[in-house]
Amino acid sequence: MVFQFLRRSAEADVPEVKASATGPVVAHLSAGRVAWSPRDTVTLTRTGFVGNPVGFRAVKLIAEAAAALPLVLQDRQRRYEDHPVMSLVRHPNGAQGRAELFEALYGQLLLSGDGYLEAVMGDQQVPLELHVLRSDRMRLVPGSDGWPVAYEYAVGGRKHRFDVTGETSPICHIKSFHPQDDHYGLSPMQAAASALDVHNSASRWSKGLLDNAARPSGAIVYKSTDGAGAMSRDQYERLVSEMETHHQGARNAGRPMLLEGGLDWKPMGFSPADMEFQKTKEAAAREIAVAFGVPPMLLGIPGEATFANYQEAHRAFYRLTVLPLATRVAASVSAWLSAYAGEDFELKPDLDQVPALSSERDAQWARVSGADFLTSAEKRRLLGLPALDEAQDV
**391 & 251 share domain:** no
Q: Which helix (H) or strand (E) holds 369?
A: helix 358-369
294 located within any domain: no
Q: What is the value of pTM for the model shown?
A: 0.74
* pLDDT at residue 5, rounded to an integer: 40
Burial of 347 from C-beta contacts in 10 A (0-12 / 13-18 / 19+): buried
List the one residue out of 113, 126, 271 whose CA is nearest residue 178.
Answer: 113
144 located within any domain: yes
* pLDDT at residue 8, rounded to an integer: 46
**89 & 168 share domain:** yes
Domain coverage including residue 184? 41-193
C-alpha span between 290 and 303 (Å, rounded): 13
* pLDDT at residue 212, rounded to an integer: 63
Kind of pairing between the strands at 129-133 and 263-267: unpaired
Whole-Å CA distances, 302 to 272, 283, 305, 308: 18, 9, 8, 14
**154 & 63 share domain:** yes
**242 & 386 share domain:** no
**109 & 157 share domain:** yes
List the one residue out of 163, 246, 173, 250 whose CA is nearest residue 206.
Answer: 250
Cβ atoms of 121 and 127 closer than 8 Å: yes
23 located within any domain: no
106 located within any domain: yes
List of residues 6+ apart from 249 with CB closer than 8 A: 211, 213
**50 & 122 share domain:** yes
List of residues 6+ apart from 255 with CB closer than 8 A: 213, 246, 247
* pLDDT at residue 2, rounded to an integer: 40
Cβ atoms of 347 and 330 closer than 8 Å: yes
Would you say how long the chain is, in residues? 394
List the one residue out of 94, 117, 95, 93 whose CA is nearest residue 105.
Answer: 117
Domain tally for the chain?
3
Neighbour-count burial for 56-95, b at 16+ CB within 10 Å, e otherwise: ebbbebbbebbbbbebbbbeeeeeeeebebbebbeebbee
Cβ atoms of 347 and 365 closer than 8 Å: no
List the one residue out of 163, 108, 96 whose CA is nearest residue 137.
Answer: 108
As separate numbers, helices (DSSP H) first and strands (DSSP E) second, the chain gives 15, 11
89 located within any domain: yes
371 located within any domain: yes
List of residues 6+ apart from 338 with CB closer than 8 A: 344, 345
**366 & 263 share domain:** no
pLDDT along the chain (394 residues), means of 10: 43 50 41 63 90 94 94 85 90 93 96 95 88 94 91 92 92 94 92 91 78 61 62 72 64 56 62 67 91 90 71 89 95 93 88 78 74 77 64 44
**228 & 129 share domain:** no
* pLDDT at residue 29, rounded to an integer: 38
**225 & 171 share domain:** no
